[in-house]
Amino acid sequence: MRRPVIAGNWKMYKKIGEAVEFIAALRPKVAEASHCEVVVAPPFTALQAVAKAAAGSNIQVAAQDVAWEKEGAFTGDVSAPMLCEAGCTHVIIGHSERRQIHGETDERVNRKLKAALEAGLTPIVCVGETLAEREANRTHEILERQFSGGFAALTASDFSRIIIAYEPVWAIGTGRTATPEIAAQSHRYLRSLIAEKIGKSVAEQIRILYGGSVKPDNIQGLMAQEEIDGALVGGASLKRDSFSAIVNYP
């Protein structure tokens, strides 16, 4: 039985005060949500304050990126041990905005993933095709490439600590959600890759979230798919009412 995860990616929104206020308001709204794990991913500056505001609740904290080195001359980067110190339990890696805007490669995703695992963080690794790739019938090829590069040289025990987020780029922030069937097809393909390359039981246990314009009015249809183990939510995670409605989907 895979426990669903509902994670909110705040991107570059919310200053510290707004973030703390949001958590105070969210806490009672998701306190009864024992059917899933609840994660929020604020910007770096608010991580520590959000972790403090969420202490003792069922809300866990993720960073939106991580450096692959522990320390050093890496201006602008934040390492995995630093994220742990700030109170993070999770980290998003390889989000399409990092891939597209910051030139994140599969090789970098792989290094960051290993650094996160070494520090004891739970990585939420994003994969997904662009619209042009989908229209050219290249979805499987892209997912295969992202999987082979991004998840290279990991053991079955590493996989037991990883969460994957399938996020078709054409559905992120566009209001255009993949239908539950389209999402489930890609999830099935990812699970078949894992079964083939790592093992069947790892593939059965790994949680694969869907991301791309998830909203209170489409979460139930998505979660009705056996293949979908939760959601990575962008825009709708910024408002406590829509995020708590998504968390409380059942």
| Shortest spacing between CB 72 and ligand PEP, in angstroms | 29
Q: Which residue has the tokens 């995995």?
A: 80
One-letter amino acid identity for 135? E
CB 93 within 8 A of CB 178: no
- Which residues in 173-212 contact ligand PEP (CB under 6 A)? 173, 211-212
Give the other-Cβ count within 10 Å of 146's Cβ.
22
| CB of 80 or CB of 127, closer to ligand PEP | 127
118 is catalytic: no
| Shortest spacing between CB 236 and ligand PEP, in angstroms | 6
- The reply to whether 214 sits near ligand PEP by the rule CB under 6 A is yes
Q: Which residue is nearest to ligand PEP (CB)?
A: 234
| CB of 150 or CB of 234, closer to ligand PEP | 234
95 is catalytic: yes
Which pairs from 76-83 meet CB under 8 Å and 24+ separation? 78/44, 79/115, 79/119, 80/115, 80/116, 80/118, 80/119, 80/121, 81/119, 83/47, 83/119, 83/121
Segment interacting with ligand PEP, rule: CB under 6 A, options 55-63, 103-111, 198-206, 234-242: 234-242
Among 36, 235, 247, 249, binds ligand PEP (CB under 6 A): 235
- Which residues in 61-100 contact ligand PEP (CB under 6 A)? none
Beta-carbon contacts of 94 under 8 Å, excluding residues fewer than 6 positions away, are 104, 106, 109, 112, 113, 125, 126, 127, 146, 150
Among 4, 5, 9, 169, binds ligand PEP (CB under 6 A): 9
CB 89 within 8 A of CB 61: yes
| CB of 124 or CB of 203, closer to ligand PEP | 124
Would you please indicate which residues are annotated as catalytic (active-site) residues? 95, 167
